[in-house]
Structure 1
Amino acid sequence: MEIRHLRYFLALAEELHFGRAAARAHIEQSPLSRSITQLEQELGVPLFIRSRQGTSLTPAGEALRDHARDILTGVERARRAVARIGGQPNALRIGLSEGLAQPRLSELFQCWHRKYPDMQLRISELPSLQQQEALLTERIDMGLSFGAAQEEGLIVEPLWADRIMAAIPRAHPLAQTKSLTLASAAASCSLVFCHTRLKPGLRMQIEALLRARGISPILAEPVDTLAGMIVKVGAGCGIAFLDANHARTLQRPDVAIVPLVDSDAWLTIFAITKDGRQDDLSAAMARFVMLGRNMV
């Protein structure tokens, strides 16, 4: 049983879609399929049910999913132990999801480097679902995102909240206003959202605010990224909502950024860690959370 086969298996077990799993594993779909078939032949049992309705795990596949996580976790722990014995510097591995590129994050990372120069940060970008798997197998130590789907074994802690801003086409009448309510903005135009699969936390927070107001908005065609969302807004396809920090980085002349004045119109950034993890990096993770919360 090869480690790479277990990684491919886990990607498919999480995605339940050969195309998405192949993209996640950075291989073509054919070698992914062959690897899964080889693994099934080696184990002597089917791991997936393939049908016109889609792909699902067999009971044996569900059992292997849990064991695969344990095996891959052991590999990561061994890698860290060997690196430490070999004298490599300590590093806190952080995964960013949902296109997080806020100036405030950059300020937090710079503050960490000044305060804890002996503990490096290794920062990578991971889609939300991949971030959860990487946390559970300890490939990363902490995830930063707008939130995660409920996943057993993870701790989700708020870091800070930013005011929600409305991104409005410059030609739209509301572009001239100084501030808006969520209800008035949502009622004035179609809303541009990112795909739920790609930006689940961001969309989940906005949709919860809309539901609380009894609003069922008209939705424009979804986009993949926050930058793509602003492009669609600039093209006049609708209005979008985003946090104030991202609004600072995505401003453009064809889009007006207008703050929402509702008392609950805030988007929260969360730190996500593996539940029950106790090792040499646990204290560093706690310090990072505290530093993020204390930044003004």
Structure 2
Amino acid sequence: MDLKQLNAFITIATLQSFSAAASSTGLSQPSLSRLLKQLELELGVTLIDRYHRPLRLTDAGQFFYDKVRTLLTELETVTSMTQRLVAPRSALNIGFVPSVLYGLLPDIIATMKRHDPTIAVNLKDISSYQQIEALKRGDIDVGFSRFSHCDGWIQQILLRHERYMVALPKAHALAQTPDQRLLDLVNNRLILYHQTHLPAHIIHDSGSSITDKKANVTDIETEPLLNLFAQHGVTPLMTTKVSDLQVALGLIAAGEGITLVPASLQTVRTEQISYQNLVNDNVTSPIYLHTLKDVVHPRVPDLLAATYKVYEQRGMTYQRQRFV
């Protein structure tokens, strides 16, 4: 059993076609068929039903496919990490979620570059869970996220908890009312913008288009803002799902609803949007920084130091940590 046989099997099984697999790998169909047959003979089982169109995995083939695909992915990760360990890139590739970019990330990058103008930085807008695979592939070296992760390849630190604020249209009846409660907001249309749902729950794809819906139990378990309301025993009567935070703020500016945003965004579109405090306990959004466990880019400590310096300049509460 060798890597050529395993890769041939995975490609054939994934594409469900010898011809498509041949186009993908650059190998001829007879070569792929021979590699697959060698693998089946060595295992003593039939992996693919060749008489079904499209090709279909046998029960044994499905089991083998699931396990081998995971192993090959890990092997690719180890290979990429080994190469980066020997020859790390000079530029620091940073993944981020939009709410972090609208907040303090520009100040953090500027602080880091003031300390060392030679630092090269590339920023990539990428969702929290996509960042994990991006770290493994080497697409990014470090990521700012709003969600905790549990992955054997990744180490992360909690930077701080950021209070949520209510974002309302300037003409809203509550726009000038400080110290609001979640209960005060339930009769308003709540605009949902998170693309990543909470971990350990079923994830539902509501699509990229704007849809109105009634909140239900499953939404509350998975959608971050609805989960916050649920923790305080209330449920918004109306919700609208949008593709990202920028769209949400645009709708609020147009008077089409309200939402909750991290406090660092309270300077965005202030001519159209009013931001007010929430008095409820534990209404916060965490900020995490994560990177690989075994291969830490040499500039990551500089990024972390700049982050803490900005927090200190702003008088923000945090607990200093470091990557191992």
Q: TM-score with structure 2 length normalisation?
A: 0.63
RMSD (CA atoms): 3.8
* Seq. identity, %: 20
- Correspondence 1:271 to 2:271: no
Offset of residue 80 of structure 1: 7.0
| CA displacement 1:39-83 (0-9 Å, x = unmatched) | 6x747456xxx9xxxxxx94314422342243255246436745x
- The Cα shift of 1:268 comes to 2.0
Check conservation: 1:149, 1:200, Cα contact below 8 A. no
Task: Indicate the SS of the match to 1:289.
Answer: helix
Give the SS at the match of 1:200: coil
Q: CA deviation at 1:278?
A: 4.1
What whole-Å deviation, never above 9, does each CA across 1:81-140 have from its counterpart, x for those lacking one?
45x6xxxx7222211124532241111011111223444322212233321101123332
Gapped regions of structure 2 (runs ≥ 5): 37-46, 49-53, 55-60, 200-221, 313-324
Which residue number corresponds to residue 165 of structure 1? 165
Aligned to 2:304: 289
**Any unmatched runs of 5+ in structure 1?**
19-32, 51-56
Give the number of equivalent residue pairs: 251
Q: Equivalents in 2 of 1:266, 1:257: separation in Å? A: 15
Give 1:190's aligned residue.
Answer: 189
- Give the corresponding residue for 1:260: 278
2:68 to 58, 63, 70: 63
Report the AA paired with residue 222 of structure 1. Answer: K
Which moved further from structure 2: 104-113 or 59-68?
Answer: 59-68
Matched, 1:216 2:215: no
Match of 1:230 in 2: 249
Amino acid in structure 2 at the alignment position of 1:132: I
User: Which of 178, 191, 200 is residue 197 of structure 2 equivalent to?
Assistant: 200
CA distance in 1, matches of 2:116, 2:67: 41
Judging changes above 3 Å, is the alpha-carbon distance between structure 1 residues 142 and 75 closer, same or farther for their aligned structure 2 residues?
same
Instruction: Please give the TM-score of this superposition, normalised by the length of structure 1.
Output: 0.69
Q: Give the alignment of 1:68-147 within 5 angstroms.
A: 68-75=73-80, 77-78=82-83, 81=86, 90-98=90-98, 100-147=100-147
CA distance in 2, matches of 1:111, 1:277: 27
Determine the C-alpha separation between the residues in 1 that align with 2:78 and 2:139. Answer: 7
Could you tell me how far 1:231 is from its partner in structure 2? 2.2
Deviation at 1:221, TM superposition (A): 2.4
Q: For residue 26 of structure 1, what is the aligned residue in structure 2?
A: none
Per-residue displacement from partner, 1:210-258 (whole Å, max 9, x unpaired)? 23212222342200111111122234432200012223224342x3222
User: Counterparts of 1:110 and 1:36 in 2: how far apart (Å)?
Assistant: 49
Separation (CA, whole Å) in 2 of partners of 1:107 and 1:180: 29
Q: How many angstroms does 1:159 deviate by?
A: 1.6
Greater Cα radius of gyration, structure 1 or 2: 2
Does structure 2 conserve the Cα–Cα contact (< 8 Å) formed by 1:177 and 1:258? Answer: yes
8 A contact 1:192–1:240 mirrored in 2:
yes
- Which residue does the alignment assign to 2:214? none
